[in-house]
Amino acid sequence: MDTESSLFLAHRNFSSPAPGSSVSAQERHHSQSSAFSTTSSSAPPTSPATACLPRPKKRKLRAPDTWKHSRVPQGDEETHQNNQRLWYCGQCHNPPWRTVSTTSAKRHTRDDHGIVIEDDERPAKKALQQSLEVAFSRAAGKSRAMLARDEQSALRNTIDLDAFYEAQIQLITRRRLPLNCVSWPEYQALLCAVNSRADEVLIQSGNTALAHIELSYTVHRANIKARLRVAKSQIHFSIDLWSSSHRKAFLGICGQCVDADYRPREALLGLPNVQHSHSGEAMAQHLVNTVRYFDIAGNVGYFTSDNATANDTCLRAVATALAIEFGVRVDSTERRVRCGGHIINLCLQAFLFASSKEALSAAIHKADYSAEVTVAESLQGQLRQKRKGQHRCSEENQAGWRSIGPLGKLHNIAVFIRSSTIHSDACSARQIWSRYKDHPVAKALAETSTAPMTAYERLAQSLDVTETHDYEDELEKFINGTPCKIEVSPLTWWAREEQRMEYPRLHKMAIDVLSIPPMSDKAERVFSGARRTVSFDRARLGADTIEMTECLGNWNKNDLIRTAHTLGEGDH
């Protein structure tokens, strides 16, 4: 045998069996001694070069715990397969079970013998696993951080700052909340529960909320001004004076008109604080200031208020100021409308709830405020004559009704109103029509509208059917026309396009008259709301803050606020 064969044989004989093998130490020593003796006797003397060759490195077992459950090959059983050592199951003898894969060996012992083998990981593999875990944990941490930043950025971007501030203003003004509600922990917790980034847009001071209200009031007041300037009817007013429990007097100025879309609109135009004097001249000053700001002097309509004599003085002062400053002539007597609710209330107090002649005289004296002849004053004069015995009723009027007290008096009221001509003469439709009869007709629809014309509109324009002849009296045409049944209010009926086309002048008169407020209850409703705003624990509220709060709340209630205001960079 040559040297290479001897070395190979020695290497095979020096290979140690698997740990836990049944081969004893003596057998291994004897086997190694025999191998050495055989090699020594059969091999020729080694050369110095051969003696210096390094011995093959012994392979280290990779899964010692797995090899503990193996056995050494017996008899002619193979020890290797494809240069890989065979693992024989220590419990399987007939037939034997073998494999070259320690993974298969662990699976075999677990599935067939119920032995679970947990080998320690190799240091290199463990180090690799740790490195991978560290790398993946860093990547996962960065990914989570980036995801968290993206989520926070998305939450922040979902907040429309202008819309948030506008909604907050409307909440405060419409529900009359205190200005410091923006700093309530419960309110802020509610917002942060909806959006965790809401704390970045929260305001912490009532002064900041007041600044937002002032800006919103300025912007929306300008929008109301633009709406009033394009109104289709005159701007009518209902006014009243109110003294709060905190020694502040406010003049409620409510406007009412038909807007550009022919829909009735009402709005609180002002709630100024009347100082020093509650006279008619003092109230007129605030009314003229309101008319001046909204630039509606040429479209001023009627004024509805209660029977206080200060209102007569106010209207005369307003008429004088409009004539001097704007050149607009207004008949203060004609434009003065007394609140129908007050008239009915005074009449009922006088004739249904009077307990004596003295109480009846006091009620009549209380109602006797008007300087000109009206239905109420004529009725009062008739009652005075009745008390003095100067009035003589016919036997038909006296029979039955006078004997049942208040109902008889109410019957006399109805008879007088039906027989009186003062009211019909003062408000004659023909007298009013004379001011509209020669009113210039608006241009054709196609010229005033930005919308494209329909086929019907083009045909109507070509046939000139929308023109009204100067010699045609629209009032006579309407009176002599065929009656029709309407299922809407008269104002809504006259605001329809059919009536506007058929009666281009008369419909203007109709919407001007029908849009006059018959009562001053709108101003009184404003005072009822202001009483809740100026509560006992908010006595320090300024008059300007009260006015802005009530105006914004009223505009929101009447659907006049639709677009959010835009705050400047310095206002956030």
pLDDT by position in tens, the chain (length 572): 444 444 344 434 434 444 444 333 344 444 444 433 444 444 444 444 444 555 555 555 556 767 777 787 887 788 787 777 787 888 887 888 888 777 888 888 888 888 887 766 667 667 777 777 887 788 888 778 887 787 778 888 888 989 999 999 999 999 999 999 999 999 999 999 999 889 989 999 999 999 999 999 999 999 999 999 999 999 999 999 999 988 899 999 999 999 999 999 999 999 999 998 999 999 999 999 999 999 999 999 999 999 889 999 999 999 999 999 999 999 999 999 999 888 888 777 766 766 556 555 655 555 554 434 454 555 555 555 555 554 454 444 444 444 456 666 666 666 666 665 555 554 567 778 778 877 777 554 444 455 666 766 666 655 544 444 555 789 889 989 899 889 999 999 999 999 999 999 999 999 999 999 999 999 999 999 999 999 888 888 999 999 999 999 999 999 998 655 545 544 55
Nearest-angstrom CA–CA distance, 137 and 94:
50
- For the packed helices 206-229 and 280-294, what is the interaxial angle rounded to 10 degrees? 80
Nearest-angstrom CA–CA distance, 118 and 66:
8
Q: What is the pTM of this model?
A: 0.63
What's the pLDDT score for residue 60? Answer: 54
What's the pLDDT score for residue 473? Answer: 86
Q: If 0-12 CB within 10 Å is exposed, 13-18 middle and 19+ buried, where does residue 120 land? A: exposed
Percent of the chain with pLDDT over 70: 67
289-293: Cβ within 8 A, 24+ apart: 290/253, 291/318, 291/322, 292/325, 293/225
| Structure tokens given for 170 | 């409307």
Nearest-angstrom CA–CA distance, 1 and 188:
96
What's the pLDDT score for residue 369? Answer: 46
What's the pLDDT score for residue 9? Answer: 40
Picking from 320, 426, 330, the residue whose alpha carbon sits closest to that of residue 377 is 426
Per-residue H/E/C for 294-337:
HCCHHHEEEEEECCCHHHHHHHHHHHHHHHHHCCCCCCCCCCEE
Picking from 95, 126, 134, the residue whose alpha carbon sits closest to that of residue 112 is 95
What's the pLDDT score for residue 155? Answer: 82
Nearest-angstrom CA–CA distance, 321 and 285:
9
What's the pLDDT score for residue 173? Answer: 95
DSSP secondary structure letter of residue 273: B
